[in-house]
Amino acid sequence: MESLARQNFVRECEAAINRQINMELEASYAYFAFANYFGQDTVAQPHAAKFFREQSHEEREHAEKLAHYQNLRGGRVAYQDVKKPSKTTFTSLQEAMETALQMEKSVNESLLQLHSLASSHNDPALADFIETEYLHEQVKSIKQFADYVTQLKRNGPDLGEYLFEKLSLKD
pLDDT, averaged across the chain: 94
Where are the chain's structural domains?
11-78+89-168
Q: Label residue 68 by pLDDT band (50, 70, 90).
A: very high
Confidence of residue 171 (pLDDT cuts 50, 70, 90): low
Report the pLDDT value the prediction gives residue 140, as an integer from 0 to 100.
Answer: 97
Q: Which CATH superfamily is domain 11-78+89-168 in?
A: Ferritin, core subunit, four-helix bundle (1.20.1260.10)
The mean per-residue pLDDT over the stretch 35-44 comes to 97
Q: What is the pLDDT of residues 128-144, one digit of tens each?
A: 999 999 999 999 999 99
* CA neighbor of 26 nearest in space, from 110, 97, 143, 92: 110
Binding-site annotation: residue ranges for Fe cation: 24, 59, 62, 104, 138
Write out the binding residues.
Answer: 24, 59, 62, 104, 138
pLDDT, one tens digit per residue, over 71-117 is: 999 999 999 999 999 999 999 999 999 999 999 999 999 999 999 99
**Span 146-160, mean pLDDT?**
87
